[in-house]
Amino acid sequence: MMTAPMPIKHEIILPIIGRRQPLCKCHHLCYNRRMKELVFLKLGGSLITDKTQPYTPLLDVMDDLALQIKTALQTHPNLRLVIGHGAGSFGHVPASEYRTRDGLPPKSTPLAHRERDETEDNYWKGFAEVWYQASTLNRYVMKALHKAEMRAISLPPSSNVIASNGQVSVWETTPIRMALAAGIVPVIFGDVVFDEIRGGTILSTEDLFLHLAKALNPERILLAGLEAAVWADFPARTTRIEAITPASFEEVSAGVGKSHGADVTGGMESKVKQMVELVKELPDLQIQIFSGSEPGNIVRVLTGEVLGTVITA
């Protein structure tokens, strides 16, 4: 008696995560549910605030994003998630006024208490103001996650990150690891931090992800903003860039452009450059830049669909 031949499974190679996975009918990247997958998700400041209007949160948007994240976690229980969010029209406004990211001259940075001149005193006034505004926005985000009944905890970088000339120097990541182990979603955000060289500075979510990715080795980093992809001709937006690698970045970088609205951390061009540098160091990592404002996109991307621009090694 002849046996029917076994059906052939169509497969694709995913060098980004180093595993073979079946290509399902919907053409998603379907991850093996028995495998734990760590994903970093950034909710961009342009997505959760109106960056053209100072101190304007988009509360309905935050509520919707929180519900989408909750849905993805419910349908994919082995998905582990670190959320980061930008400072939007909260942090960037005072940061621009006080030039907080630039820091102070080296002579101003010793830890010993002393009399400060007017310039230095004004800088620290701004430093505290940026912290307050970034924390205020974080509270709105946490409220939305809480309303969605998500187990989430905010871990502000200002309390446990030390920078050196604008880059993370010291970060005790044990609380993040323990939160993930406990099934709690850790939330970080663009924030002020003390800096060994500059005195103080601002680290964007991408700055933080850059360091954290090397410590935790996520499979994917998802950067959700307003733009549907990286554009080769921003702001005209007629030519999408589907994929970027370190080899192709120089060809497209000139047209990528800045940010829409206030952004002291460099906008799209800076973000893409940072992510290209990161995939050089972590060649199995996949990064997506996509629109979080399109209905359902957060769920789609978290559960494996490829949207927007993909950055790989």
Tens of pLDDT, residue by residue over 51-84, are: 899 999 999 999 999 999 999 999 999 999 999 9
Residue 34 pLDDT exceeds 60: no
Question: What is the per-residue pLDDT for 261?
Answer: 53
* Token reading at 144: 């939305």
Residue 8 pLDDT exceeds 90: no
- How does the average pLDDT of the chain come out, rounded? 86
Question: Vertex 137, ends 74 and 223: CA angle to 5°?
Answer: 55
Give the pLDDT mean for 5-18: 38
Domains in the chain, CATH or no CATH each:
11-228+257-294 (3.40.1160.10)
Residue 32 pLDDT exceeds 60: no
Out of 1-10, 214-223, 241-250, pick the least confident.
1-10
Question: What is the per-residue pLDDT for 105?
Answer: 82
Out of 28-37, 52-61, 242-251, pick the least confident.
28-37
Residue/partner pairs of 269-272 with CB below 8 Å, 24 or more apart: 270/206, 271/206, 271/223, 272/230, 272/244, 272/311
Give the H or E element holding residue 211.
helix 205-216
Out of 102-116, 156-170, 185-199, 254-268, pick the least confident.
254-268
Give the pLDDT mean for 167-193: 97
Give the pLDDT mean for 9-14: 36
Question: What is the per-residue pLDDT for 10?
Answer: 38
Give the pLDDT mean for 235-254: 88
Out of 22-31, 119-128, 148-157, 183-192, pick the least confident.
22-31
Residue 281 pLDDT exceeds 70: yes
Q: What share of the chain is helix, strand, coil (3-state, %, to 5)?
A: 40, 25, 40
Residue 196 pLDDT exceeds 70: yes
The 10 Å Cβ neighbour count of residue 192 is: 30
Give the pLDDT mean for 211-229: 97
Q: For residue range 90-100, what is the model confidence (pLDDT) as tens digits?
A: 999 999 999 99
Q: Which is nearest to 131 in space by CA: 88, 87, 84, 191?
A: 191
Residue 199 pLDDT exceeds 60: yes
